[in-house]
Amino acid sequence: MKKIIKYIILDILKNRIVIAYTLLLLVISLSLFMLEDNPAKSILGLMNITLIIVPLISIIFCTIYLYNSNEFIELLVAQPIRRTRLLSGIYLGLVASLLVAALVGIGIPILLYSPTGTGLTLLLTACGLSIVFASLALLAAVLTRDKAKGIGLALLLWFYFSFIYDGLVLMILFQFADYPMDNTMIGLSMLNPIDLGRILLLLQLDISAMMGFTGALFQDFFGSRAGIIFASFVMLAWMILPASYAIRKFRNKDL
């Protein structure tokens, strides 16, 4: 598996897409910090990049790379290598590349300009979302053999978690406005990794007071140590479950 991970990382470095992605994040992050005297405002601007651009690039890049590596994967499947180890190695190589891009592109500016708890939370959120959407990309690539359908499914997943899900939650809130929705709101926030990361970042930025009763509810739950631990386990589940299901599906898939 180590040889596969090493090969994937070297292959990704050769096509220079991740290098360009890293430089893009680095330029945007440095620009935001240099243009604003208040690091909190820069973190807020960088949060939008983290919650929208990072998941999009992660899921699209991983999906396209997996489809472009079909011949390589089929060649290795014919060798005495377990399928689970093969796909796990490819997945870990992709994740390692995305994590390096996030740590360099976002981590270095944060360490230079805002080495605080908020900055660290932003960096961890970027890394977490990179892994989550790499897992979703792996799932999309395994579920369908057609490249166009796979990329379309990946884009649909990103669009759903970024925009559609929030609209559905608002619709539910309006429909059941007369009922207590406290625990339901916390539960719904767990079903979207982007929303989960957004809530944790907003609470770190002390903007929860502007969110009214809902903000107070989130502050009470996610502001506690137990809430943070629980949210971390939920994010970890988002990282592991899609990839685990994809690897198990690939093990019995007819290539």
pLDDT digits (tens, 9 = 90+) for 112-160: 988 888 889 899 999 999 999 999 999 999 998 889 999 999 999 999 9
CA angle 141, 147, 152 (to 5 degrees): 80
- What pLDDT sits at residue 223? 63
- What pLDDT sits at residue 222? 67
Which of 193, 195, 242 lies closest to 91 in space, CA to CA?
242
Spatial separation of the C-alpha atoms in residues 214 and 229, rounded to whole Å: 20
Mean pLDDT, range 25-42, rounded to an integer:
87
Integer-rounded Cα radius of gyration of the chain: 19
- For 205-243, write each residue's pLDDT tens digit: 765 544 444 455 566 666 667 777 888 899 999 999 999
Which of 193, 200, 203, 185 lies closest to 234 in space, CA to CA?
193
Spatial separation of the C-alpha atoms in residues 21 and 98, rounded to whole Å: 9
Q: Where are the beta strands (DSSP E) in 5-106?
A: none
- What pLDDT sits at residue 213? 43
User: Which of these ranges, 1-15, 19-33, 197-211, has the smallest mean pLDDT?
Assistant: 197-211
**Given a cut of 90, is residue 11 above it in pLDDT?**
no
- For 169-187, write each residue's pLDDT tens digit: 888 878 877 777 667 777 8
- What pLDDT sits at residue 210? 46
- Locate the domains of the chain by residue range: 2-251
> Exposure of 255 by Cβ count < 10 A (0-12 exposed, 13-18 middle, 19+ buried)?
exposed
**For the whole prediction, is pTM greater than 0.85?**
yes
- What pLDDT sits at residue 60? 95
Q: Which residues contact 126 (CB under 8 A, 6 or more apart)?
A: 50, 54, 102, 106
